[in-house]
A and B are shown apart, each in its own frame.
Chain A
């Protein structure tokens, strides 16, 4: 039941954060092991989804610090994401958006783990600042600052990549 309801959500968070499909599978498994151990401590009445996301976030950050993923490369965007990317009716627009997403996907690795997580939760997963603050355990103002810094960093990365492509 829990697996059916939450495996996709946890897996996508792990995948977006780590950038590696294989790593995300292992991380999801670890998070579910922790979840089943932590279930007796879950206080009924609390938002379960937010509680689980906080548990997942803690594991991702701990593992990041332990293994230093920033030295590794992320999977290519085309490997798993391109096949499921949403498509509009305009093929040229789709192509442009896919290219932008490919650059941003790689660019996520250049953000610090805290900023990356804030951007993933707020901008990719569409959570509110309040929800993101609850999950990350920092004040809403800090979340806003992290998300905005991350957005600007990604826009700069996009700019550099496009300038490099034009220069070729």
Chain B
């Protein structure tokens, strides 16, 4: 393997994340290449030094400042209320309604628009009435057919059987 490839593998090699074959290849390379062996040692040294980085205390002054933030009375924030996830579907519906309402209310040809709506409404009512009357005539026709069918049946049926019926 070339040094560039070994360099790429070194972090995983040190973390013992390579499979046995790759690990053996890296080890063999490190035995013969001083530059890569040196880089591997430095990487291990850097890893150990980073892991041992000390934590620093924030200092009392900062802690006091942070405590003061916590003690501040929470201000009412409309934005915070509006951003609550539970309100999102209601807000989306209200926004849609608002858009529709503004399209109607701010329309410069509102009177014409009203007339169109009334015309469409009446046309709709007319259509419903037509459909209703057609449905009535279909019912009548079916009734007439049923009556004829019943009369025919009575004529075919023998008299004694007719009595039973």
Contact = CB atoms under 8 A, between A and B. Distances in A.
User: Do A and B come from the same complex?
Assistant: yes
Interface of A: 1-3, 7-8, 11-12, 15-16, 21, 25, 28-29, 32-33, 36-37, 40-41, 80-81, 84-86, 97, 100-101, 104-105, 119, 123-124, 126, 147-148, 151-152, 154-156, 158-159, 162
Interface string B56-91: 111101110111011010100100100111000000
A32 B51 contact: no
B42 interface: yes
Contacts of A25: 58-59, 61-62
Contacts of B84: 40-41
Nearest to A88: B52
Contacts of B38: 159
B58 A36 contact: no
B10 interface: yes
Contacts of A3: 63, 66-67, 70
A13 B90 CA distance: 39
Contacts of B70: 1-3, 32, 36
Sorting the interface of chain B by its residue count into under 10, 10 to 19, 20 to 34 or 35 or more gives 35 or more
A98 to B, nearest CB: 9
Contacts of A154: 46, 50
B66 A28 contact: yes
A114 B32 CA distance: 35
A28 B46 contact: no
Nearest to B79: A37
B39 interface: yes
A124 B62 contact: no
B45 A36 contact: no
Q: Which one of B50, B63, B69 has the greatest number of beta carbons of chain A within 10 Å? A: B50
9 contacts: A7-B63, A8-B57, A29-B69, A36-B72, A41-B80, A104-B50, A152-B43, A154-B50, A155-B39
Nearest to A43: B85
B56 A155 contact: no
Contact of A81 (B54, B74, B80): B54
A152 B11 CA distance: 8
B47 A100 contact: no
Given A7-B63, A151-B11, A158 B46 contact: yes
A101 B43 contact: no
A101 B55 contact: no
Contact of A37 (B63, B65, B80): B80
Interface string B7-25: 1001110000000000000
Contacts of A37: 77, 80
Nearest first, the 7 A-B pairs at minimum CB distance are: A148-B11, A11-B58, A100-B49, A84-B54, A155-B43, A123-B50, A3-B66
Given A29-B69, A40-B84, A154-B46, A101 B53 contact: yes
B59 to A, nearest CB: 7
